[in-house]
Amino acid sequence: MNRVRKATLRMLVLLALAAALGLAGWWLYRGAQPVELTLYFHPFVGPEPLVLNESRYPNPGGEGRFTVRDFQFLLSNIRLSGATGAYVESDSYHLVRFDGDDPAAVIVLHDVPRRDYERIEFGIGVDAAANRSLTPRGDLDPNGRMAWTWEVGYKFVLFEGALLRGTASVPLVYHVGFDESYRPISTDLHGEPLDSRQARLDFRVDILRLFQGATTVDMAALPAVKFDRADAALLARNFAAMVTPMWPDAARTSRDP
């Protein structure tokens, strides 16, 4: 009897040890498994979701309503960082485009090490080194629509549409580029959990904020921004406000170069 009880006890201890080892192993295994992080970019014009080719949006600084025919921008150098380390995406150049066929534009980051990240950083536009290069990296394509010419670099933000005033239609062309327009943004993750196998972060892209910032743009007075650097700077100042996190209490900083 005593011997049986001893054997049972031994068995129980062994089982408990095995369970503890298994748990620890699973924990270690899980910790080593990379995360797939998906960034969603939801297009808005003010409070309304973007609908292409519809004249429903009021001119922010004047009369008339505008339509959006094409809207896309380049987003670069995605980086996640925290006290325990950082994840830096290589060849991190993404074209974020809204063609009306999907509710959101998506960037998928594969194999992100599982860590306690505290902030996410990326730039709107293209850093100067890549902007002057002809090497196709990520979505950068010198023969693509976002390329101006090799002498000028890339369009960082492209907006094409029209302003309708009565029966008159004024073409709107906002191609905002130049090295100095690049805007790095850092956003506090504020405890957003990134440790599930398929984590996500959601951003609001408000096209209206491109024209409403320190100064509000009357599209009738400024229907095009192309190669004038002062005009480009005017809109570039609003880049950071254009792309904002959709999770609560996200503190953010953007520095002007």
Which residues contribute to the site for other proteins (CB under 8 A)? Answer: 52-53, 69, 95, 97, 99-100, 134, 136, 141-145, 147-151, 160-162, 168-173, 175, 223-224, 226-228, 231
Minimum CB separation of residue 149 from other proteins in Å reads 5
SS3 252: strand
Q: What single-letter amino acid sits at 152?
A: V
> Of 95 and 189, which CB lies nearer to other proteins in the complex structure?
95
Distance in angstroms (rounded) separating the CA atoms of residues 151 and 183 = 21
Looking up tokens 């996640």 gives 80
* Greatest Cα pair distance in the chain: 101
> Of 45 and 199, which CB lies nearer to other proteins in the complex structure?
45
Minimum CB separation of residue 136 from other proteins in Å reads 5
Minimum CB separation of residue 46 from other proteins in Å reads 21
Phi-psi region of 100 (alpha: psi -120 to 50; beta: other; left: phi over 0): left
> Of 32 and 221, which CB lies nearer to other proteins in the complex structure?
221
> Of 100 and 103, which CB lies nearer to other proteins in the complex structure?
100
Minimum CB separation of residue 8 from other proteins in Å reads 58
Quick one: DSSP state of residue 25?
A: H
Query: What sign has the CA pseudo-torsion 206, 212, 218, 224?
Result: negative
Phi, psi (deg, nearest 5) at residue 122: -160, 170
- Is residue 113 a contact partner of residue 48, using CB atoms and an 8 Å limit? no
Q: Report in angstroms the alpha-carbon separations of 45 from 211, 228, 257.
A: 11, 25, 27
Minimum CB separation of residue 37 from other proteins in Å reads 24
> Of 76 and 187, which CB lies nearer to other proteins in the complex structure?
76
Token code pair at residue 94: 């993404």
- Is residue 97 a contact partner of residue 105, using CB atoms and an 8 Å limit? yes
Minimum CB separation of residue 152 from other proteins in Å reads 9
Minimum CB separation of residue 257 from other proteins in Å reads 21
> Of 10 and 69, which CB lies nearer to other proteins in the complex structure?
69
> Of 99 and 256, which CB lies nearer to other proteins in the complex structure?
99
H or E stretch at 179: none
Distance of CA 11 to the CA centre of its chain: 55
